[in-house]
Amino acid sequence: MDSFDKIYEQFKVQGKELAGKIRELIHEGNVRRIIIKNEQGHTFMEIPLTVAAIGAIAAPVLAAVGAIATLVAHFEIVVERAAPGAAEAPPASSSSGPNADAAGKPDSQGD
């Protein structure tokens, strides 16, 4: 598993703050996945997020998070984000100079 294009953050929150923090993270836009764990590190819920699915899953997910928040007093939220620039392709290098045509051959005009 290649994790060079991912950044992980962890937050500790109280049960009553859980739904608000999840709502805030969903609306940030650069979050790929949210994992909710209890104090012992056991996973309660994993929420995969994509841009297309955010609107469709926000309400049911927040309702489930609210129900989970009543069970435990302290939670740890693990957030997986896309690394800045991970989606960008590196620029193509041109070693033939500024007077080259599209095929990379030197321009015959000039001297």
Per-residue pLDDT, 46 = 87
Tell me, yes or no, whether 70 lies in a domain: yes
Would 47 be classed as within a structural domain? Answer: yes
* Contact (CB, 8 A) for 6 and 82: yes
pTM, 2 dp: 0.61
CA 35 to chain centre: 12
Q: Is the pLDDT of residue 7 over 60?
A: yes
Angstrom distance (rounded) from CA 25 to CA 33: 10
What confidence tens digit (pLDDT) does each residue in 20-70 have?
888 888 888 788 889 999 888 899 888 887 754 556 666 777 777 877 777
- Model confidence at 1, pLDDT cuts 50, 70, 90, reads very low
Residue with tokens 């392709």: 89
Instruction: Look at the chain and report how many structural domains it folds into.
Output: 1
Domain that holds residue 28: 6-82
Encode pLDDT of 74-91 as tens digits.
889 899 988 776 554 444
Let me know if residue 25 belongs to a domain: yes
Q: Which residues pair with 66 in a beta bridge?
A: none
Q: What is the CATH number of the domain that holds 50?
A: 3.30.1490
The answer to whether position 99 is within a domain reads no
- Mean pLDDT on 8-23: 88
